[in-house]
């Protein structure tokens, strides 16, 4: 079984979500929970970007022992030196250094030729490798990069000492088949590619971040980057909990798994949502309020007979404790009577039928029927006897 490493960037790309600004205590709390969740690599921040980021990366690096901690650096020696100061006490100091490789970024942002970019990338990977035992190199905007140039620069940074090569879809532009073609091209044209972990880093501008990450795994990526709840720059990053569950549920297809402690997912998601102030959509996969809720009568009846009829993931697997049956106008008699029994009321058939009609009238006026609503119906019925 292939192990897929999970690289969590909730504290770096995730914190780049508009409106999110975490303080030191909040970042420490998130880092500790990510460690409990079993994340392999925690990107704790961008140490050269501010004093606050430097301090939080340094403190996270000193307290986290079971995950590797990394920090981001631009391709300048100053950023690498500052990152080293922040990370040198960590269990396995790891640097994440990047440079843009697409024509549009090189020409308009960096104002460098491709050869200059290649030379800088190689110099910085060599410089960082003198300090850090693990250097990850990222080709920013890789998915809009000329493939022969991408292959040339990847070969050169591996020779320079990079241990992980990341192929980001920085602008969330690629589609799954195209992303696989990029990985396949690199595997065919980079002679030393077998020496590194290949990583995927997908943004969700077209809603394809998780699909693209899964496609990358099929094409040989052994590391997936993303955030919890899919938060991040613009439309966000790939949601790691979705990637982990897709691998878990479809192990038959992917023949790969992560080291994630799945029952910690819900708690992690809740903590991050609370501290970032980014609410989770009710229909969000895995962690949304409705992710395990069944409303239609046919579905409720099936789930009560055997949860596997409509559930591919059990709520308990990901740490969700909730009654999966939501009573509403689509609910059937079976779900209604089951809930009444759970509330302590075992009714005669005729009594249950009368109450069921009243319940249906109420459900026509009110979306979700709560336990309090049911209690009120039963009490009304008993009073009017
Ligand atoms: O999206 C991106 O390209 C990034 C890089 C810094 C890896 O976040
Ligand atoms: Zn990113």
Structure confidence by residue, pLDDT tens digits, 19-40: 899 999 999 999 999 999 999 9
Beta bridge pairs of residue 140: 100
Q: Indicate whether residue 105 lines ligand 1 (CB < 6 A).
A: no
| Nearest residue by C-alpha to atom 2 in ligand 1 | 170
Q: Indicate whether residue 170 lines ligand 1 (CB < 6 A).
A: yes
Q: Indicate whether residue 98 lines ligand 1 (CB < 6 A).
A: yes
Classify residue 66 by burial, with Cβ atoms within 10 Å: 0-12, 13-18, 19+. Answer: exposed
Structure confidence by residue, pLDDT tens digits, 344-370: 888 889 989 999 999 999 999 888 898
Q: Indicate whether residue 46 lines ligand 1 (CB < 6 A).
A: no
State which ligand 1 atom lies nearest to the alpha carbon of 203. Answer: 1
Residue 123 has pLDDT above 90, yes or no: yes
Taking the CA of residue 282 as centre, how many other CA atoms within 13 Å lie in the half-sphere pointing to its CB?
Answer: 3
Q: How far is the CA of 13 from the centre of ligand 1 (A)?
A: 8
The residues, any chain, with a CB within 8 Å of residue 103's CB and separated by 6 or more, are 144, 145, 146
d(CA 117, CA 119): 5
Q: How far is the CA of 209 from the centre of ligand 1 (A)?
A: 13
Structure confidence by residue, pLDDT tens digits, 135-187: 999 999 999 999 999 999 999 999 999 999 999 999 999 999 999 999 999 99
Going by the annotation, the residues of the binding site for Mn(2+) are 13, 201, 203, 237
The residue written with tokens 């250094």 in the block is 97
pTM reported for the whole predicted model: 0.90
d(CA 62, CA 164): 23
The complex's ipTM works out to 0.99
Residue 57: CB atoms within 10 A of its CB come to 32
d(CA 140, CA 265): 29
């Amino acid at each position: 079984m292939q192990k897929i490493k999970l690289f969590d960037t909730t504290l770096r790309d995730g914190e780049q979500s508009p409106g999110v600004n975490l303080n030191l205590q909040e970042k420490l709390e998130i880092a500790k929970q990510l460690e409990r969740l079993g994340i392999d690599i925690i990107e704790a921040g961008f140490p050269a970007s501010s004093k606050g980021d430097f301090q939080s990366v340094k403190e996270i690096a000193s307290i986290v022992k079971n995950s590797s901690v990394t920090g981001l650096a631009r391709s300048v020696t100053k950023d690498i030196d500052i990152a080293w100061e922040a990370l040198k006490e960590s269990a396995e100091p790891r640097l994440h250094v990047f440079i843009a490789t697409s024509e549009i970024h090189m020409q308009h942002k960096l104002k460098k030729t491709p050869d200059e970019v290649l030379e800088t990338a190689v110099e910085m990977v060599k410089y960082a490798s003198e300090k850090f035992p693990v250097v990850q190199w990222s080709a920013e905007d890789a998915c809009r990069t000329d493939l022969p140039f991408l292959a040339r620069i990847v070969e050169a940074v591996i020779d320079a000492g990079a241990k992980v090569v990341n192929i980001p879809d920085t602008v969330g532009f690629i589609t799954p088949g195209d992303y696989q073609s990029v990985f396949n091209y690199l595997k065919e044209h980079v002679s030393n590619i077998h020496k590194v972990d290949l990583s995927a880093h997908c943004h969700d501008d077209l809603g394809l971040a998780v699909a693209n990450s899964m496609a990358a795994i099929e094409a040989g990526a052994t590391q997936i980057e993303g955030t919890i709840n899919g938060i991040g720059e613009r439309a966000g990053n790939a949601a790691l909990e979705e990637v982990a569950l897709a691998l878990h549920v479809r192990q038959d297809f992917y023949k790969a798994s992560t080291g994630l402690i799945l029952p910690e997912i819900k708690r992690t998601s809740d903590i991050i949502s609370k501290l970032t102030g980014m609410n989770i959509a009710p229909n969000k996969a895995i962690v949304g309020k409705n992710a395990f809720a069944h409303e239609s009568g046919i579905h409720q009846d099936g789930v009560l007979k055997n949860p596997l009829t409509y559930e591919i993931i059990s709520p308990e697997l990901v740490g969700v404790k909730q009654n999966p049956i939501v009573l509403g106008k689509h609910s059937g008699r079976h779900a209604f009577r089951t809930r009444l029994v759970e509330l302590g009321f075992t009714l005669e058939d005729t009594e249950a039928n009368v109450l069921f009609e009243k319940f249906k009238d109420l459900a026509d006026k009110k979306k979700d029927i709560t336990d309090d609503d049911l209690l009120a119906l039963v009490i009304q019925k008993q009073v009017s006897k």
